[in-house]
Amino acid sequence: MLKFQLMQMMHYIIRPMEYGDIPQVAQIDREAFPGEWVFRSQSAYKRDLDNPSVRYIAACMKREGVESGGRVVQRLLWFKRLFSHECHLDSSEYIVGFSGFWIMMREAHLIAIGVRDGYRRLGIGEGLLIATIGLAQVVNANIATLEVRASNEIAQALYKKYGFQVVGRRPRYYSSDGEDAIIMSTDNITSTSFQASFQQLRKAHAQRHPEPLAQVR
């Protein structure tokens, strides 16, 4: 496990999502995607975790590090073995974000990237996107795709930064309000050109966070 220090002596991890995370993840889902979360109920998350074609990861921190209202300046802590299942949730962990994708015919289709209220615009969403693309590569996906609300320009800008391009539009895709969805897709995520850009962005993101202070297994 690589340990990164936060500005206020707090630490984060990104690891595979587990059954015990589901209630907190469902809560974040309701906060981040009002009107859509009903399609990802707690039972749906459990089914997804049982499905070998689905991958979820969670960003979490120790509960004793959580400030009232979640107003913190933070840095992300990454597990050395991010994609293994050697790490287990304990009751002191507080989930602050999650992401997931389906793997179909070597395509990783992003289901959602959600961050808890009070912890947004702090780099967690970008960190989850980096980890998601990395995990997609591990499971031998060639491309990554997603849908995003037409009005969500901030998310679209982040996806474009990481190589997603607009490839289509789904009219009235979101049943809660009839908003259109923008379809975005990457080029081959295993290609030399994509990897060069991705690794550069990954390093730039890491430079905004302290280097590892310790290594714990």
Contact 146, 159 (CB under 8 A): yes
From 93, 126, 147, 162, active-site residue: 147
Q: Is 147 annotated in the active site?
A: yes
Q: How far apart are CA 138 and CA 115, in angstroms?
A: 23
Distance, in Å, from the CA atom of 77 to the CA atom of 6, rounded to the nearest integer, reads: 9
* Structure tokens that stand for 73 in this block: 């300046």
**Which one of 45, 56, 94, 159 is the catalytic residue?**
159
Q: Taking the CA atoms of 114, 120, 123 and 124 in sequence, report the sign of the dihedral they define.
A: negative
Active site residue 159: yes
Q: Which two tokens stand for residue 65?
A: 């590090």
In the chain, the largest separation of any two C-alpha atoms, in whole Å, equals 49
How far is C-alpha 211 from the chain's CA centre?
A: 21
**Which secondary-structure segment (H or E) carries 125?**
helix 124-138
Could you list the beta-strand ranges (E) of 85-209: 93-104, 107-115, 143-149, 165-170, 181-185
Q: Is 186 helix (H, G, I), strand (E, B) or coil?
A: coil
Strand partners, 16: 57
Which residues are known to be catalytic?
Answer: 147, 159
